[in-house]
């Protein structure tokens, strides 16, 4: 895909949903490939004076995923959402609290805080792929299994938006 195509943000249909960009549709496909359930633009938040509709809600993983192509300005709304959701004492380190993740144009996942390093792994207990913060809790976000790193198999840094998952 050329840079020009990214900038144009071409609406793209996939599984009966019209996504705002090809990149978003690629993320939906990648989530399907990983058998991660997704909802597109279903949770509307009021953040002070403005509204924010994150791209994806992953109900099984309790995770919001905002896809950011180079044509998408500003990450402040995503950051605000995280600030709003990360309110309890140490939600950042709990696999049960909501997680907010940004999907980059190359498929890599980043967090909204500088210390966050997002990873994708598969859980040995429930076989589900999940996204987690490498600098926070490694617990499975689907079944909450957490036994050191024994419940994790395969660790990946980016979503398979252009084909296969690649190990770190
Ligand atoms: Zn699990």
Digit-coded pLDDT (tens) for 80-111: 888 888 765 544 456 667 899 999 999 999 99
Q: How far is the CA of 122 from the centre of ligand 1 (A)?
A: 8
Q: How far is the CA of 50 from the centre of ligand 1 (A)?
A: 36
- The CA-based dihedral angle spanning residues 22, 23, 28, 30, taken in that order and rounded to the nearest 10 degrees: 120
Helix (H/G/I), strand (E/B), else coil: 140: coil
CB neighbourhood size of 135 (10 A):
16
The overall average pLDDT reported for the chain is 87
pLDDT tens figures, 130-149: 999 998 889 999 999 988 88
- Judged against a pLDDT cut of 60, whether residue 116 lies above it is answered with yes
Q: How far is the CA of 73 from the centre of ligand 1 (A)?
A: 34
Token digits for 44?
A: 């509307």
Question: CA 81, 86, 90: angle at the middle one, nearest 5?
Answer: 165
What is the chain's Cα-based Rg?
Answer: 15
Q: Is the pTM of this model over 0.85?
A: yes
Of 106, 87, 105, 107, residue with least CA distance to 97: 87
Q: How far is the CA of 13 from the centre of ligand 1 (A)?
A: 31
Decide: 56 and 38 in contact? Cβ < 8 Å.
yes
- Residue appearing with tokens 């490498």: 134
| Strand pairing category for 129-133 and 50-52 | unpaired
What domains, with CATH codes, occur in the chain? 3-115 (3.40.960)
φ and ψ at residue 27, rounded to 5 degrees: -65, -40
- Residue appearing with tokens 């770190």: 168
Q: How far is the CA of 14 from the centre of ligand 1 (A)?
A: 28
CB neighbourhood size of 35 (10 A):
11
CB neighbourhood size of 13 (10 A):
9
């Amino acid at each position: 895909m050329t840079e020009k195509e990214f900038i144009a943000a071409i609406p793209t249909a996939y599984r009966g949903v019209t996504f705002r960009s090809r990149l978003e549709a690629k993320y939906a496909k990648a989530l399907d490939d990983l058998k991660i359930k997704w909802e597109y633009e279903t949770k509307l938040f009021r953040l002070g004076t403005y509204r924010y509709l994150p791209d994806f809600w992953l109900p099984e993983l309790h995770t919001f995923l905002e896809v950011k192509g180079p044509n998408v300005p500003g990450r402040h709304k995503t950051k605000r959402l995280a600030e709003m959701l990360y309110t309890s004492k140490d939600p950042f380190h709990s696999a049960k609290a909501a997680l907010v993740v940004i999907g980059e144009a190359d498929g890599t996942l980043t967090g909204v805080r500088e210390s966050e390093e997002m990873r994708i792994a598969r859980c040995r207990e429930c076989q589900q792929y999940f996204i987690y913060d490498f600098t926070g809790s490694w617990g499975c976000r689907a079944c909450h299994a957490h036994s050191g790193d024994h419940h994790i198999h395969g660790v990946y840094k980016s979503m398979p938006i252009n084909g296969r998952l690649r190990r770190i």
